[in-house]
Amino acid sequence: MYQKFFKRLIDIVFSLLGIIVLGIPMLIIALIVKVSDPGPALFKQKRVGIHKTYFSLYKFRSMKMNTPDVPTHLLENPDSYLIGIGKGLRKSSLDELPQLFNILKGDMSIVGPRPALWNQEDLIAERDKYGANDVKPGLTGWAQVNGRDELAIPVKAKFDGEYAENLSLIFDIKCFFRTFKKVATADGIVEGKKNS
């Protein structure tokens, strides 16, 4: 009952409230991005949704228009692609705010596995093992509050599977409030190639 009805209701109410409350700050960020670098303030990126369907994820653009379409941690020198305020947007996670519209549309939920890039075949395959591709992706999730970018793909997928298995209001609340600590400390964010 929670997953089929109340979770969606919560997503609609809180994403709409977020858009209303954060509307002016989002407009200011959009203007700063436009001034910082030629091109649109927002960008759309092909991501994997529930049941491995595709949708367009919205973000404030923190990187230049010629940046390769790969996860940032796979770039050799990601700082060279950042626009003026890009580092601050990414560190504060403010670049993620437009995903409130994805949540309102129903592409995403507030809490769920972070949507994989269309070409992250290793992550998608690992999530299949745990049924994590069969829940709606989220703005934040269990893997995000347990390491974010620092996690190896199999570990991240396992956390996503734990979320899918234990999905409930209490678990969502736990993920949601632990997210604030992670964002406040920029904990778990890795830019550029990791040493293996």
CA distance 161 to 176: 17
**Angle of the 153-166 helix axis to the 121-130 helix axis, nearest 10:** 40
* pLDDT exceeds 90 at position 42: yes
What 3-state DSSP class applies to 58? strand
Provide the pLDDT for residue 69. 73
pLDDT class for 193, splitting at 50, 70, 90?
A: very low
In this prediction the pTM is: 0.86
Provide the pLDDT for residue 189. 52
What 3-state DSSP class applies to 110? strand
- Percent of the chain residues topping a pLDDT of 70: 92
